[in-house]
Structure 1
């Protein structure tokens, strides 16, 4: 779908999976997003292999960030987040409340929706933990290094973290 209208804004969506077929799952998620009416995937970051956060006893993740054009007449943040959660279920995601940061077949996070800031507990924007996570900031910096999030650029947030990169692997 194309989204070349005056009501288009940029949004950023984080993708992640730590299944054996993670690269294919990220591709499938990106393709599903691009099929949504009023949304068009403009660019995808490189994919990174990332160390698990919060629960280390699981396989490493494959992560990427998508830059999407969103028709704001069709989509608002809550509706887009609901669509992402529905796609996660359709792509095999089963949430385990006891293991919040555990393994997942697919994770689709709404990171930013234009300049919208929201304290709605169901749809916090910018994503509440994105500025703490190198696995989000490294691919986001690849797409939009100067993008301002909470008054600081993506690269400034990244500079404030303790992390390292070896090839496509991100350690934090």
Structure 2
């Protein structure tokens, strides 16, 4: 389904357990099946080292959605996709089969018990900023400013674009 007139949302996708690349690709396919939601762009896949964590390198990407789901409903749909991939949360920043994060939801700033948008570490993570800026080079992060302004601050975080 390709809705129109919805909210543009950006979703971070990452995995470093199991077949991480396949898990990220499958997550995009599942995003395409969300009700009231269309995937309007997907970045390349990137390999990144874990930050504040351990385990294998991550495979990361960002998807741009046009969605009629509320921010909270989108979050719940993402959590359900994670569970379908066997996501467990034994401790903070544990390695994961799949991680899906609402990075941005239109121009909204959301602060609830379950969701913070813009994602609180968005501007501190190259694995988010690089694919996000691939999709939207002029993107402005609500309350923070141009996303590109944060690239110098994450220049020490290696991000390797993968071949298709």
On whether the aligned pair clears a TM of 0.5, the verdict is yes
Q: Residue 113 of structure 1: which of 91, 105, 109 is its match?
A: 105
Q: Distance in 1 between matches of 2:122 and 2:144?
A: 14
Correspondence 1:58 to 2:55: yes
2:156 is matched with 163
Say yes or no: does 1:154 pair with 2:147: yes
Moved over 4 A (4+): 164-167
Normalising by structure 1, report the TM-score: 0.88
Superposition CA RMSD, Å:
1.5
The 1:122–1:142 alpha-carbon spacing in structure 2 relative to 1, beyond 3 Å, is: same
Aligned pairs for 1:1-172 within 5 A: 1-4=1-4, 6=5, 8-55=6-53, 57-71=54-68, 75-96=69-90, 99-149=91-141, 150-165=143-158, 167-168=160-161
Superposed CA offset, 1:28-86 (max 9, x none): 1111111111101111101110010112x310000000011112xxx111111011111
Q: CA deviation at 1:168?
A: 2.3
Count of residues paired in the alignment: 161
The two structures have a TM-score, normalised by structure 2, of 0.92
Question: How far did residue 160 of structure 1 move?
Answer: 2.8
The answer for unaligned runs of 5 or more in structure 2 is: none
